[in-house]
Each structure stands twice: as C-alpha cells, then as structure tokens.
Structure 1
Amino acid sequence: MKPLAGKIALVAGATRGAGRGIACMLGEAGATVYCSGRSTRGSLASGSHRPETIDETAEMVDRYGGKGIAVKTDHSVEEEVAALIQRIRKDAGKLDILVNDVWGGDELMTWGKKFWETDLANGFKMLRQAIDTHIITSKYAIPLMLENNSGLILEITDGDGYFYRGQLFYDLVKTSIIRLAFGTAEELDGSGITTVALTPGYLRSEAMLEYKGVTEANWKEGTKADPNFIASETPYFVGRAVAALAADPNVAAKNGRVFSSWDLSDEYGFKDIDGNSPHWGRYVQNTIPKYKYKRCDDQFYSYWRFLSGVKIGETEWS
C-alpha cells in the first residue's frame, strides 16, 4: 500500500541526515520527492567536508519505491528557490508536501563557550543558513500549495520543549524554527494547508556514526563510549513520522504545534527501519537527572531535559 502515491513532495535539505531519511520514507510511501540541496556529484557544497549528495538521495528514494528528483539549490538564494518551485510547477503542477530541513550549521558550531567568546560572524551565518532559508523556501512554495488549498508544511527542528539547547545561536535556530511553524500556521489559517514542527531524537546520522567510529551495521558498539547512544534512532524514523503525518486525513488537528518522532511513533504505530521503537523522550526522563544539562560531545548534538513541560507553539508560549 502506497498512501502517498500521486503526492508531490519537496525536501529542502535532502543531502544527508534527517533530510535524506525523510525523502526516502516519503518515497517508501509512494511520493515523488524533489531532493534539493547544494552538494551534487562532482560539486560538493562550499565549506562542507561530508561526501553525501542529493543525487544519491534521489536514487535512494527510487529504491524505496518512490520517484526521486535531485535539484541543486542554494536555499539562501531567492532566485534559485524560485527556479526550483517553477520547475515543480512545470513538471507536476502542484506541491503537496514541503519539508524545510535546511541546516548547514555543523561547521559553524562552537560548544563549550559563551556566545561572547565566539566568532559572532559564524553565529549570524548560522541564523541566515538555518532560518532565512526556511522562510525563503516557504515564500515561494506556499503560493503553489495555495492553488490547491491543501498541503502539509513541516519545519524540522531539534527538541519539542522550552529548554536551553546548550549554545546560544543553536538554541535561537531551533526554537525559532518551532515558532516559525506556529506563525506560518497562523498566517495560513483557513487555507487548507497545515504547518507543524517536528523533531527527531538522538539522530544516528552519517556524521554521528562516523564520529562514533561505527557503522549502521555495528552501531551498538558506540554505546561503549556513550551509553545513551542506545536510545538513538536512524534518520528514517523521523522520515516515517513525516510520511505518517502526510497520510493522516486529520493532520489539520495538529496545525501550528510541535511534535517528536517518538511520540508520533506511539500515535501512528510505525517503527524505525531496523524494527526498533526508540523513544528518546522517555529515555531522557528516565535516565538524565532532572534539570541537569549534559553535552553529548563537543561537535554535534546535545542531551536535554524537558525543564517545564511547556510545548512551544501551544497556549503556554503563543
């Protein structure tokens, strides 16, 4: 069964990590997926040290049962985003699903320092790359979605609570993305388009596997140095969360709110691609001491505690 057969999706930032997993699982559900990003075969994004490309992602979408289309796009450049949407209009005549997952901040992160001790230029660049790009993409994509008065927009973030994420600019990005989903939902009220924010848990991305010195085949070896790695999830888990939301006829009831891959797994009943059911939220609550922040490592992700239970985008902070 292909619940998204005939649906047209754009995953902005599909090169690797959550974006790649989302694109593949939309393909698994039968969608045609435009995979955009800056890294293509023979032309990696400037400043990137990662080998993954959107061409590989599009081919993976095909293998999972969908149709993948790679389109090189710098989502910080309005003209390139406009051209991407015009291509989708010409090819398909519609856009059903937009996933804003542009990030590009790994090379700019500085853990363990206060913001006044860091290079502010890197912080401001992170804001431009990870927030402005989402707004630009939605600006050009939404008019196409409005033509059918329907669709789903997903803003991919990190964390579903009102808590500090360990680094000022990173925190600004990830909380702003959640607020962006809420604000976009308000502006699209009555349009038939639903907007939600979505977070994965402890993501077992390509970069994280490499950092831990393991592969997906032997990823549990990584728990020797980091016991919390046992609660990690593949990028396909959040991908299945996106596919489940896109296939839900009642998804409008979630408009303007923020959700997690693990909670949606409980609701919709999907599993990770390896058959596991990781639940980062429950693991954090049961394992990490209350109100105590612990950094996972010096480069990639942070552990968190839901300090107050407040969900951004709901009445407590709206």
Structure 2
Amino acid sequence: MTSERPLAGKVALVTGASRGLGRATALEFAQAGAFVVATARSVEGRSTQPQLPGTTVNETVRQLEAAGGQGLALACDHTDPAQVEALMAEIRTRFGKLDLLVNNAWGGHDPVDEATRGREVWEEPPEQLRNMLLGGAYSDFLTSLSALREVMTGLGLILCTTWHTEEPPGWLPYEVSKAAKNRFVYALGHKLRARGVPVIGVAPGWMRTELMELHHTPQELQGQTETPHYAARGMVALAGDPDAGRFSGQILDVGELVDLYGFTDLDGRQPHWFQERQQRRSP
C-alpha cells in the first residue's frame, strides 16, 4: 500500500453509484486502489432518471476502468431484502470479503418530488416520508446488517452519506429521514464498538450533481457549491486512516474532514459550506 493508493487490496461496495456522489465515490475509491463493487437501480437500458443520459452504474464502471481502476457493476435495489442478500452472496463468491461499505443509495425524492410539497406541513404527500425512510435509513440498515452477517467477517469500515439536520429545520420529511439516518450511524457504531468496525456519517455540502445542474441555473450554483468528488475524497481519507475508529458513531461535515486531512476539490478549492451556512443563519 502506498500513499498514492491507500486502499490497495481493499474491496469496497459503493451503493447508489450511477451518478452524483455515488459515482464520484466509486471513481475516487478505484483511483485509491480499491476494487469497487458499484451498485444502483439505474443500469444499462433501465435508468431511474432517463432525462440524464449516461447516468447508469455500468457507465460508472467504464469510467473508473478507463482511468486505470478496477470495478464491477451490479444492479441492486437496496430497499429489497432479497436483492441485497443476493448481492452479498455474489460478493462472497467473487471476493470472499468486503472491507469497505459506502451506504449512498437514496432515491428518496422519487416518485414524489420536492416540488409537490404543500405550503402547509399537513399538505405534505403521505408517501414522501415513507419513500425517504425506505431510501435512506432502511436501505442503510438492510445493506449494513447483511454485509456484517455475510462478508464483513474481519475488520472493516461502514460509511453512510447523509446530511446535517439544521437549525431552524428545513423540509419536514427530509429532516425526519436524515435524522433517522444519523441516529442509525450513532446506534450501529455503538453496537459494533467491540467488534472494531467503525460506522461514520459523512455530510457533504451543496453539491453540483447532475440533478442539481438540471434544476438550477449556473448562477445559483456559484459560490460555495462543490463537486461530488470533494466529499468522495474525504471518504477516501477516512477509509485510509488506521485511526478512523475514533469517529465511529459521528456525523462529520466535509469541511471537518478537510481540516483533518487537507484534500481539495477538483478545482483546488476547500469550501466549508455547512459551517458558513450556519454562521450566516446565527442571530
């Protein structure tokens, strides 16, 4: 293992890797030397976001292989226990182990979209919270426990991408669903303390993902926005830190990771989006 390839010899599972943060994480982990099992519902010929061409898990693996990495694209809906169990059986057969798990699968905004929310909290579509809990905490729960049972037999690391709950709170179902994810990180980290498997949440800032660029103007995305590679590089740093266990059960903002490990975004910048947002909101 070298400083340029700190994850050499590791097998990593990155869920929700067809686009956005999942794709960036798969690319960055592969560049750091890991063999990446990339999963998503969006596969060749069947995408959950057909308006975004090329955003499939197959394209993610083609990109990381073109850059010299190694990976495998597999279809999986991480809210379906049978599909998750089949995925772990495939990993066990092919590799016999899993060293790193990144719970990034989401899909909590579909089929109900943020634009459908009501002006009053009682007008929220009832499916919205259900979708977000399934796509968030439930997905992380299923995947983590199956991985621990089937393939994470030795020491490993579980990372969950999430979001800080804010003050004052934002969109009600979103805040509730992210609070559930964050409590899952804390509780599972506590349960696995004796086993030596850290569980850490990573909260990115305002990312310029494919969906964000579709729904926002370039002017709106200026300033402290960041590429998905920024948070992905923070997760590489965590995965390569032999003392990462000191953060188990915590939610770390990407700005905090930058201060610890000193990485940059693709453009060389080091935005601290969440901290600056909170400072602006403070009375």
- Please give the TM-score of this superposition, normalised by the length of structure 2: 0.91
Q: Which residue of 2 aligns with 1:81?
A: 84
For residues 52-67 of structure 1, the aligned pairs below 5 Å read 52-67=55-70
Q: CA deviation at 1:199?
A: 0.5
State how far apart, in whole Å, the 2-side matches of 1:66 and 1:112 are: 45
String of CA shifts for 1:236-264, please: whole Å, max 9, x gaps.
01100110000001101111111011110
2:156 pairs, out of 151, 154, 159, with 151
Q: CA deviation at 1:63?
A: 3.2
Residue 28 to residue 141, structure 1, CA distance change in 2 (3 Å):
same
How many residue pairs get aligned? The number is 276
1:266 pairs, out of 259, 263, 267, with 259
8 Å CA contact 1:203, 1:232 repeated in 2: yes
Q: CA deviation at 1:131?
A: 2.1
Q: CA deviation at 1:121?
A: 2.1
Q: Which residue of 2 aligns with 1:278?
A: 271
2:14 pairs, out of 11, 17, 21, with 11
8 Å CA contact 2:84, 2:142 repeated in 1: yes
String of CA shifts for 1:19-41, please: whole Å, max 9, x gaps.
11111111111111111110111
Q: Which residue of 1 aligns with 2:189?
A: 185
Q: CA deviation at 1:132?
A: 1.3
Q: Which residue of 2 aligns with 1:132?
A: 138
State how far apart, in whole Å, the 2-side matches of 1:255 and 1:164 are: 26
Q: Which residue of 2 aligns with 1:216?
A: none
Q: Which amino acid is the alignment partner of residue 136 of structure 2? A: A
Q: Which residue of 1 aligns with 2:120?
A: 114
State how far apart, in whole Å, the 2-side matches of 1:289 and 1:155 are: 26
3-state SS in 1 of match to 2:223? helix
Q: CA deviation at 1:126?
A: 2.3
3-state SS in 2 of match to 1:283? helix
Q: CA deviation at 1:125?
A: 2.3
- Please give the TM-score of this superposition, normalised by the length of structure 1: 0.81
Q: Which residue of 1 aligns with 2:167?
A: 163
Q: Which amino acid is the alignment partner of residue 181 of structure 2? A: I
Residue 142 to residue 48, structure 1, CA distance change in 2 (3 Å):
farther
- Percent identity between the two aligned chains: 34
Where does the alignment leave 5 or more consecutive residues of structure 2 unmatched? none
8 Å CA contact 2:31, 2:67 repeated in 1: yes
8 Å CA contact 1:12, 1:100 repeated in 2: yes
State how far apart, in whole Å, the 2-side matches of 1:64 and 1:268 are: 24
Where does the alignment leave 5 or more consecutive residues of structure 1 unmatched? 214-221, 292-318
3-state SS in 2 of match to 1:239? helix
| RMSD of aligned residue pairs (Cα, Å) | 1.9
State how far apart, in whole Å, the 2-side matches of 1:187 and 1:48 are: 40
State how far apart, in whole Å, the 2-side matches of 1:229 and 1:174 are: 25
For residues 245-260 of structure 1, the aligned pairs below 5 Å read 245-260=238-253
3-state SS in 1 of match to 2:198? strand
Q: CA deviation at 1:183?
A: 0.6
8 Å CA contact 1:146, 1:191 repeated in 2: no
Residue 44 to residue 278, structure 1, CA distance change in 2 (3 Å):
same
1:93 pairs, out of 96, 100, 107, with 96
8 Å CA contact 1:57, 1:68 repeated in 2: no
Residue 262 to residue 111, structure 1, CA distance change in 2 (3 Å):
farther
State how far apart, in whole Å, the 2-side matches of 1:240 and 1:195 are: 17
8 Å CA contact 1:30, 1:65 repeated in 2: no
2:33 pairs, out of 30, 33, 37, with 30
State how far apart, in whole Å, the 1-side matches of 2:52 and 2:215 are: 12
Q: Which residue of 2 aligns with 1:296?
A: none
8 Å CA contact 2:13, 2:101 repeated in 1: yes
Q: CA deviation at 1:201?
A: 0.4
Q: CA deviation at 1:184?
A: 0.6
State how far apart, in whole Å, the 1-side matches of 2:172 and 2:232 are: 28
8 Å CA contact 1:25, 1:64 repeated in 2: no
String of CA shifts for 1:45-93, please: whole Å, max 9, x gaps.
3x76543100111122223442121100011111111111111111111
Q: Which amino acid is the alignment partner of residue 282 of structure 2? A: K
Residue 243 to residue 151, structure 1, CA distance change in 2 (3 Å):
same
3-state SS in 2 of match to 1:71? strand
Q: CA deviation at 1:186?
A: 1.3
String of CA shifts for 1:117-176, please: whole Å, max 9, x gaps.
02202332222222211111112111245421x1110111112x5535411110111111
